[in-house]
Structure 1
Amino acid sequence: MTAGSALVGAMATDGWQQARAAVVDWWRRRRPDAADDVGSELETLRTQVLGAREQSDTDTEQALAGAWCLRLQQLLNEDPALAAELRRLLDEHLAPARSEDEQAQGRPVIMKTEAHDSSRVFMAGRDQHITGS
């Protein structure tokens, strides 16, 4: 899921051309016969993503990311050994091309707590509003 979202997120940035080149190169090494088509599809997808952002259409943007998540998942289902290479592509090219806000959304949050006796614990990954006593 992260790779598809990172791919779509990178499309609206100044680093898109470098990220696109890395994706097409990665694809060329895996499926040489489909690499040129993937490059063309990425350009079409970028136009759609930019249009969705211009219209503040997050549903369309999420759907486009979902479509690429499925496509990448199918590739991994066919060849699970590609997972490490896809992770490297994500870490080295796609994630750095995203905006700082989008990069923060993709980071895992690990929270641990321990409560004893009558204590209470309130944890949140974002905003938290507590009412009552």
Structure 2
Amino acid sequence: MLAQSAGATLVTLMATDAWHRVRDGLAQLWRRTQPERAETVTAELEAAHEDVLAAAAAGDQETLDELRLQWQGSVRRLLVARPAAVEELRALLDRLDPGGAAARQVTQHATASGQGRVYQAGRDQHITER
């Protein structure tokens, strides 16, 4: 669950002004927990940042979903190899995204044609038709 939340948060924040804090925080986490992978992870973060910006600009949700899964996997592997990193990762995510809003971001797409209707909601929805 933590890896899933982290992947979603990181990818969402890569497209914001928080990007530098995301990169620096994750690079520091890897330097402390898996120093042999720190440079590789930093390079992967830079590449992912460029991919996130391009996908967001193109409205490419599939690529964004793939990037979330990629970072979920990277974080999960880190936590399996270094279970003590759990608290440090939680603290980093709390600093980067207080309240966890980035991980809860909702993106919806819908198409209706003819007489079709689309009703979407990110939370509660009440529809009364007569």
The TM-score normalised by the length of structure 2 is: 0.74
Report the counterpart of residue 8 of structure 2 in structure 1.
5
- 1:23 counterpart residue number: 26
Tell me by how many angstroms 1:82 deviates.
Answer: 1.8
1:85-126 deviations in Å (ceiling 9; x for gaps): 111111112x25xxx9x826539xxxxxxxxxxxxxxxx971
Equivalent residue for 1:78, pick from 71, 76, 81: 81
Percent identity, aligned pairs only, is: 41
Structure 1 CA distance for aligned equivalents of residues 103 and 25 of structure 2: 22
> 5+ residue gaps in structure 1?
108-123
- Residue by residue, what CA displacement relative to the aligned partner does 1:18-60 show, whole Å, maximum 9, x if unpaired? 2211110111000111111111110100111111101101111
How far apart, CA to CA, are the structure 2 residues paired with 1:21 and 1:88? 14
Q: Is the 8 A contact 2:15 2:49 kept in 1?
A: yes
Alignment of 1:103 with 2:108, yes or no, is no
Structure 2 vs 1, CA of residues 41 and 105 (structure 1 numbering), >3 Å: closer, same or farther?
closer
Max Rg structure: 1
> What is the identity, as a one-letter code, of the residue corresponding to 2:10?
L
- State the number of aligned residues: 111
Matches within 5 A, 1:1-133: 1-93=4-96, 95-96=97-98, 103=101, 106=104, 126-130=123-127
Unaligned runs of 5+ in 2: 106-120
CA contact (8 A) 2:23 2:45 kept: yes
Going from structure 1 to structure 2, the CA distance change for 1:13 and 1:104 (only over 3 Å counts) comes to: closer
Equivalent residue letter for 1:80: P
